[in-house]
């Protein structure tokens, strides 16, 4: 009996000794770090645009006012119309009297438009992206859809196709409806566009996946625009661009869009190439003094510094490597990279089949599937590709033109 008691005590002692080691191993299997960024905003996120991997998020599912971040959707649809040949960048457009009148209000605009002048699509497009001209966005929306109300319906359908639910979109500019004239909005008179950080992330991934050339416009730190028979130069509202007040060497932002209204506060969606991939930051309603016009950009910088200080973009799988999931082997087509906490052991990663359109391609037997990392702390964007609706040609009883001709002559005799 004494021998058994000694053995039992020995086993218990060994268990207590290895318990801390076991606990450490379990905690390390999740790709997270203890430090959190001091973003100081209502909501936000930082993610990898190529993979959809979310590194950090805060209140990402909360719907908040977005202001002129709305124009990312607006100008996506304008870009789509141009690429589809509905009009060209050289075409000339004329603003309505109301759209021109709005540009006389310094609180609502920064580029003047005149109702008796024509402007190229390219100039209006640049003005809407670079300095967030509301009236320029409206003129373009009118050209695409025939009216702003119809354009808003296009915006809503686009988000629905992308799997975004309960989006609140009432106008093409992002202003509060109370600042707009009749015909410039739909919905309540005080309606304000609202999306979540998750929603915006999905929007940005769709936009940059399909039209990465947009960055050629959003990376411009100056806008040249015709005013009173001369070219006037305006500074971009994105102060993180090279030459901007908040630019930092090594963090070469090339987009994307600011958003500012009373309800939205100071918000910003940024993007930059980093470590051979592309990063997107979202800061919604940055906190601080109202007169502090740099707070959204400082919050953005804190997100990218948090990423660089705590994570590394690391190869986790080699091309042709096998991944085992539930006793099934999947062969990876290409080398796979992932953002991991520094000193994280790659061998601790686990994988699973993707439930949406994100992930990397792998082959199981003759089937190609998509896989994702299963034990990432931030997860992935709730991303899906647009639904492709098949056009069904219904059969009708209408006679062909030849049958109608034969029947006509038959009736003559």
Q: pLDDT tens, 31-86?
A: 667 678 989 999 999 999 999 999 999 999 999 999 999 999 999 999 999 999 99
Model confidence at 397, in pLDDT bands (50, 70, 90)?
A: very low
Instruction: Report the percent of the chain where pLDDT is more than 70.
Output: 85
Amino acid 275: pLDDT: 97
Q: Return the higher-pLDDT residue of 37 and 403.
A: 37
Report cis status (omega within 30 of 0) of the bond before 256: yes
Task: Answer for the pair 151, 169: CB distance below 8 angstroms, yes or no.
Answer: no
| pLDDT tens column, 234-281 | 999 999 999 999 999 999 999 999 999 999 999 999 999 999 999 999
Residue 347 burial (10 A CB sphere; 0-12, 13-18, 19+): exposed
Q: Which of 6, 23, 62, 68 is catalytic?
A: 68
For residue 122, tell me if it sits in a domain.
yes
Q: What is the pLDDT of residue 401?
A: 47
Predicted confidence (pLDDT) at residue 390 exceeds the cutoff of 50: no
Split at pLDDT 50, 70, 90, the class of 105 is confident
- On whether the CB atoms of residues 114 and 227 are closer than 8 A, the answer is no
Q: Does residue 13 carry a catalytic annotation?
A: no
Binding positions for substrate are: 257
Give the tens place of pLDDT for each residue, 200-215. 999 999 999 999 999 9
Domain that includes residue 257, residue range: 41-311
For Cα atoms 211, 217, 218, give the angle at the middle one, nearest 5 degrees: 90
Is residue 165 annotated as a catalytic residue, yes or no? no
Q: Averaged over 306-327, what is the pLDDT?
A: 96
Please give the Cα distance from 38 to 295 (Å, whole number).
Answer: 12
Q: Tell me the mean pLDDT in the region 394-412.
A: 44
Helices 134-145 and 71-83, packing angle to 10 deg: 40
Is 278 among the domain residues? yes
Q: Helix/strand/coil (H, E, C) string of 131-154?
A: CCCHHHHHHHHHHHHCCHHHHHHH
- pLDDT averaged over the chain? 89
Give the residue among 317, 267, 311 at the shortest CA–CA distance from 287.
267
Nearest to 143 by CA among 130, 124, 157: 124
Q: Is residue 201 part of a domain?
A: yes
DSSP string of 248-275, one letter each residue? BTTB---EEEEEEETTTEEEEEEEEEET
Strands (E), 90-210: 92-93, 119-120, 194-195
pTM for this model (two decimals): 0.86
Q: What is the pLDDT of residue 220?
A: 98
Q: How confident is the model at residue 217, as a pLDDT?
A: 98
CATH of the domain at 229: 3.40.710.10
| Active-site residue (options: 7, 13, 51, 71) | 71
* Domain-located, residue 80: yes
Closest CA to 99 of 192, 172, 184, 169: 184
List, for residues 317-336, the tens digit of each pLDDT value: 999 999 999 999 999 999 99
Helix, strand and coil in the chain, % to nearest 5: 35, 25, 40
Domain count, the chain: 1
Place of tokens 């119309």: 81
Q: 132 catalytic, yes or no?
A: yes
Dihedral angle at the C-alpha atoms of 177, 181, 182, 183, nearest 10 degrees? -90
Q: Which helix (H) or strand (E) holds 406?
A: helix 401-412
Residue 346 lies in a domain: no
In a domain, 95, yes or no: yes
Question: Is the pLDDT reported for residue 2 higher than 60?
Answer: no
Catalytic residue among 132, 173, 196, 354: 132
User: Tokens 């930082």 belong to which residue?
Assistant: 46
Alpha carbons 59 and 192: distance in angstroms, whole number: 19
Binning pLDDT at 50, 70 and 90, where does residue 412 land? very low
Least trusted range by pLDDT, from 4-8, 138-142, 212-216, 276-280? 4-8
Give the whole-angstrom CA distance, residue 141 versus residue 133: 13
- Assess if residue 147 is contained within a domain: yes
- Residue 384, pLDDT score: 85
Residues 186-202 have a mean pLDDT of 98
Mean pLDDT of 339-355: 94
């Amino acid at each position: 009996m004494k021998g058994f008691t000694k053995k039992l005590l020995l086993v218990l002692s060994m268990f207590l000794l290895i318990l801390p080691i076991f606990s450490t191993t379990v905690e390390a299997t999740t790709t997270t770090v203890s430090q959190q960024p001091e973003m100081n905003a209502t909501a936000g996120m930082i993610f990898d645009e190529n993979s959809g991997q979310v590194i950090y998020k805060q209140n990402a599912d909360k719907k908040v006012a977005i202001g002129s971040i709305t124009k990312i959707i607006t100008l996506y649809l304008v870009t789509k119309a141009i690429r589809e040949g509905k009009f060209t960048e050289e075409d000339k457009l004329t603003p309505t009297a109301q759209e021109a009148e709005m540009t006389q209000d310094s609180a609502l605009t920064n580029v003047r438009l005149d109702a008796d002048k024509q402007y190229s699509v390219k100039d209006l497009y640049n003005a809407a992206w670079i300095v967030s001209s509301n009236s320029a966005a409206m003129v373009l929306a009118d050209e695409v859809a025939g009216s702003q109300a119809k354009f808003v319906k296009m915006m809503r359908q686009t988000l629905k196709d992308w799997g975004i639910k309960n989006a609140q979109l009432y106008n093409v500019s992002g202003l509060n409806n109370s600042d707009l004239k009749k015909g410039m909005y739909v919905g309540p008179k005080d309606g304000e566009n609202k999306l979540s950080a998750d929603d915006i992330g999905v929007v940005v991934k769709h936009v940059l996946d399909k039209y990465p050339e947009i960055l050629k416009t959003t990376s411009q730190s100056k806008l040249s625009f015709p005013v009173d028979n001369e070219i006037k130069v305006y500074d971009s509202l994105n102060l993180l661009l090279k030459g901007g007040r908040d630019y930092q060497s090594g963090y070469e932002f090339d987009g994307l869009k600011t958003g500012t209204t009373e309800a939205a506060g100071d918000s910003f969606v940024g993007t930059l190439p980093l470590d051979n991939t592309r990063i997107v930051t979202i800061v919604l309603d940055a906190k601080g003094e109202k007169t502090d016009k740099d707070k959204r950009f400082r919050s953005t910088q804190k997100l990218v510094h948090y990423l660089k200080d705590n994570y590394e973009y690391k190869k986790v799988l080699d091309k042709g490597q096998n991944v085992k999931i539930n006793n099934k082997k999947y062969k990876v087509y290409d080398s796979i990279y992932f953002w991991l906490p520094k000193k994280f052991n790659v061998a601790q990663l686990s994988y699973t089949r993707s439930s949406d359109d994100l992930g990397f391609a792998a082959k199981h037997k003759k089937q190609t599937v998509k896989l994702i990392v299963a034990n990432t702390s931030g997860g992935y964007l709730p991303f899906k590709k647009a639904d492709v609706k098949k056009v069904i040609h219904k059969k009708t009883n209408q006679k062909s033109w030849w049958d109608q001709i034969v029947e006509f002559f038959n009736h003559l005799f």
